[in-house]
Amino acid sequence: MTIIELRSGNKLAVSVEPVTDEDFKKLTVKRYFFNWKKLKGQPLLFKLVHPVSGDILGLMHLLDFPQEDRIEVKLLAVSVENKGVGKHFDRIAGNLIAFTCRLAIAKYGYKACISLIPKTELKPHYIRAYGMMDAGLQVYLDGRPLFNLLKKYIQ
């Protein structure tokens, strides 16, 4: 999994790891757009970490629906300096979504599905950028599109 430093064009290998209790000291609403401290103790809470500084560049909280062979991205956020025009790094959200694909495949095999409920204005972005399919309130990936996204980001 790699992100791209937009200023230099360099690719940097990154990792996605569980959020630790120590991390909550750094997770401010100002930087990550949500009070992540409310989720302390919840399972399936992950961070994307810069390979050199160890800085948390993105976060997500997942919900598992075993009866549906589906993992839902409940919350997804990139740090404020990596959002929109002028961001420092690209591919943060895509890597977090691809990580979710990997988890779903590991758990559910060929039946794996991931989904999320996007803000209305972001729905076209998820469809265009990640190949997600419109399911009304949610967008989702399963089958070949899920494997294609995973392949794109895991290389």
Q: What is the pLDDT of residue 133?
A: 96
What integer pLDDT is reported at residue 51 of this predicted model? Answer: 87
Mean pLDDT of the chain: 94
What is the pLDDT confidence band of residue 112, given thresholds at 50, 70 and 90?
very high
Task: Check whether 49 has a pLDDT greater than 80.
Answer: yes
pLDDT tens column, 6-47: 999 999 999 999 999 999 999 999 999 999 999 999 999 999
CB of 97 closer than 8 Å to CB of 149 = yes
In three-state secondary structure terms, 66 is helix
Q: Inform me whether the pLDDT recorded for 155 exceeds 80.
A: no
88: Cα separation from own chain's centroid: 17
pLDDT confidence of residue 124? 93
Give me the pLDDT at residue 98, please.
Answer: 97
What confidence tens digit (pLDDT) does each residue in 53-84 have?
999 999 999 999 999 999 999 999 999 999 98
What domains can you pick out in the chain, each with its CATH number? 2-154 (3.40.630.30)
> In the prediction, which pLDDT does 11 show?
94
Residue recorded with tokens 């265009």: 128
How many C-beta atoms surround the C-beta of residue 126 within 10 A? 23
Give the global pTM.
0.94
Cross-strand partners of 104: none
Q: Which residues of 92-109 are buried (b: 16+ CB within 10 A; e: fewer)?
A: bbbbbbbbbbbbbbeebe
Q: Do residues 76 and 60 lie in contact, with contact meaning Cβ atoms separated by under 8 Å?
A: yes
